[in-house]
Each structure stands twice: as C-alpha cells, then as structure tokens.
Amino acid sequence: MNQNRTNAKSTTGKIPAQTKQVNNHYATLGVTLWASEIEIRRNYRELSKRYHPDTTQLPTNIAKGKFQQLNEAYATLSNPERRFLYNLKIGYSSFNVMEAPADEEKYPSSNSAYLDPMDRPLSGGEIFVLFILGVTFLGCLILVIVLSLS
C-alpha cells in the first residue's frame, strides 16, 4: 500500500487528489451529514446488495473491501453514540456552538465553549440545592395553609 502511494507521486512530489481522499462514512453510504436513520438504512441496503461479494460482478477482493467499508460506515452511523463521536472526529456538530470573538484582546480566551463564565450548565450539586430549596418552599407554603385553616 505504501508502495502504491510512493509510485503515485507525480514529478512535482505531490500526491494526486484521489489518493488524499479521506474515508468518509457519509460519502461511503451516499448520504448527507444530516441524513435520518431511515435514509442511512435505505442507502446501506441498496449498496450492500450491489457490493455483496456473492451478488456483484466485481472481483472478489474489491467487492469484499467495498462491503467491509459499507458495514463499517453503517455500524458507525446507525448507532447514535458512535455517530456523535464520529461527527466530532470529522469536525461536524449538529449543535449551534458559540464561537469566540475575533477580537481576543477585548475578550480573554479560555478552553470553555461558553463565552460568559456565568453562562454554563448547572452541576449536579447545584441542581440538588435548587431541588432542596423548591421542596423547602413548598413545605413552607403547605405549613402556612394548614396553620391559616386551623
């Protein structure tokens, strides 16, 4: 395989674009980044019938390679957790993430995805304290109602 890449170099020393191509699971299955599970399954079934080593006219070694790529792509994209991790790996996020402003002198940079340090999700302890405060408030209201009725 390394021999093919070194032989594929042109006289300028650059590798042709076709050998630089990254194996993208979405391109393998012929779907977009925001494709639904149904679209992914439909395309996988069509392509698996086309490239299955027992049913295709391609040579066996090529058909096996294509079929393994299809299986790997489908296994990754059909599982929501694996798909999320794969999307992070390729740099795609389905969530709108706030980007740091270009003027870094005005705003110091941080490793956080949030711009405002006060604008962050609540921790487990903070949620527990809020729950206790809510229960205490409801208990006080019930006590006031019971005392006023008696």
Domain boundaries, the chain: 24-90, 122-150
pLDDT tier at 60, thresholds 50, 70, 90: confident
pLDDT tier at 97, thresholds 50, 70, 90: low
**How many residues does this entry show for the chain?**
150
Calpha distance 133→138 (Å, rounded)? 9
41: exposed, middle or buried (C-beta count within 10 Å: 0-12, 13-18, 19+)? middle
Tell me the pTM: 0.48
Enter the DSSP assignment of 41. H
- CATH number for the region 24-90 comes to 1.10.287.110
Residue 135: its pLDDT value, please? 97
Statement: residue 133 has pLDDT above 90: yes
Residue 19: its pLDDT value, please? 30
